[in-house]
């Protein structure tokens, strides 16, 4: 068995409309699914990614209106790394972010900035063998488009070696340095790093809720058994409509998920119209009228653009 890299990373926002405006318009990702938190259906769950919503391209958000501002600390991811093709792409993004009033910090091979909730993001140069996972946006040249999730950095309390055995012996990562690992997936290499922080995190707006790794459908049951045999407390397999999942907390407290490839985001919407309607899991269909009144209306930017043409 081999993990196929990252599947998605899920964050918390207090404002779904601003999240859509930033990620689907400024960053040019595609809003591929507008659904609800299956465990708290009064909250949105929004998915952004490439044109198909491919594993490895996905950033997702729970919206909890009025939630406190979060703070990344021990046991939490603090930075998400997105890949772009070239140094010219970094310059393009520095200009685009400045025009959107999101200042960035330029480095030799990366660009760091924050979203409206304070989540820290970093654009990094793609590995040469990375499969590009791009969305289309009329203002973003394809050669400069964000092409997938390339890495994440976390804070830990007990030092980076607290995770080493799980990462390498159980999940198949390769250690690349002190506090750094990589996971070679299908078409991309994912980098994972951690550093010590004595400060505990506060979950809230602008923080990462969990990270999901990607496995083939046929390996999912075996992965659950494998992780449990490594001493992790693993949930039963849970059907999330667009994939199946198991969850467990790694030794430093970060919530890990392993998600399957199938059935994907076209299971309840036409591929040409992903993210245009509120899609509800079967168990919450009876709440549709109530939820449509409760949830703040969100317009997919692609729908709005199509209506204006």
Residue 285 counted as domain residue:
yes
- pLDDT tens, position by position, 235-270: 999 999 999 999 999 999 999 999 999 999 999 999
* Enclosing H/E stretch for 305: helix 301-308
- The two tokens of residue 160 are 């980076």
Number of structural domains found in the chain: 1
Confidence of residue 309 (pLDDT cuts 50, 70, 90): low
Domain span holding position 241: 6-308
In a domain, 298, yes or no: yes
CA distances 78 to 195, 196, 229, Å, are 10, 12, 29
Mean pLDDT, rounded, for 49-75:
96
What's 71's DSSP letter? B
Instruction: Give me the mean pLDDT over the 208-233 stretch.
Output: 97
Kindly tell me if the per-residue pLDDT of 307 is higher than 60: no
Question: What pLDDT was estimated at residue 304?
Answer: 65
Closest CA to 112 of 77, 72, 63, 78: 78
Place of tokens 């930017």: 301
* pLDDT score of 289: 96
The whole-number average pLDDT for the span 7-31 is 97
Determine the pLDDT at residue 308.
58
Average pLDDT of 205-233? Answer: 97
Q: Quick one: average pLDDT of 40-67?
A: 96
Q: Is residue 1 part of a domain?
A: no
Return the pLDDT at 306.
Answer: 58
Give the CATH number for residue 176: 3.10.180.10
**Within-domain flag for 292:** yes
**Which residues contact residue 115 at a Cβ distance below 8 angstroms, ignoring those fewer than 6 apart?**
19, 22, 23, 102, 121, 206
Using the predicted structure, report yes or no on whether residue 94 has a pLDDT greater than 90. Answer: yes
Question: In whole angstroms, how far apart are CA 197 and each of 72, 159, 180, 293?
Answer: 10, 9, 16, 42
CA distance 286 to 288: 6
Q: Which residue has the tokens 């985001």?
A: 265
């Amino acid at each position: 068995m081999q993990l196929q890299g990252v599947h998605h990373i899920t964050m918390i926002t207090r404002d779904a409309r601003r999240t859509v405006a930033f990620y689907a318009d400024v960053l040019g990702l595609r809003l591929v699914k507008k659904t609800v938190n299956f465990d708290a259906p009064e909250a949105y769950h929004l998915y952004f990614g490439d044109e198909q919503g491919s594993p490895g391209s996905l950033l997702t958000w729970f919206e909890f209106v009025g939630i406190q501002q979060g703070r990344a600390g021990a046991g939490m991811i603090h930075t998400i790394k997105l890949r772009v093709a070239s140094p010219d792409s970094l310059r393009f993004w520095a200009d685009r972010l400045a025009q959107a009033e999101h200042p960035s910090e330029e480095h030799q091979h990366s660009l760091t900035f924050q979203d409206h909730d304070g989540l820290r993001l970093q654009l990094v140069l793609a590995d040469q063998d990375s499969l590009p996972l791009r969305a289309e946006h009329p203002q973003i040249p394809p050669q400069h488009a964000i092409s997938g999730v390339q890495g994440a950095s976390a804070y830990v309390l007990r030092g980076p070696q607290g995770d080493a055995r799980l990462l390498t012996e159980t999940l198949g990562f390769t250690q690349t340095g002190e506090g750094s690992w990589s996971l070679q997936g299908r078409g991309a290499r994912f980098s994972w790093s951690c550093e010590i922080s004595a400060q505990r995190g506060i979950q809230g707006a602008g923080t990462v809720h969990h990270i999901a790794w990607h496995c083939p459908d046929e390996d999912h049951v075996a992965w659950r058994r494998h992780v449990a045999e490594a001493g992790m407390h693993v949930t039963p397999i849970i059907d999330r409509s667009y994939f199946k999942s198991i969850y467990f907390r790694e030794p430093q407290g970060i919530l890990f998920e392993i998600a399957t490839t199938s059935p994907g985001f076209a299971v309840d919407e036409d591929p040409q119209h992903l993210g245009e309607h509120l899609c509800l899991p079967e168990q919450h269909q009876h709440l549709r009228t109530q939820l449509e009144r409760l949830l703040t209306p969100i317009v997919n930017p692609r729908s709005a653009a199509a209506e204006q043409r």
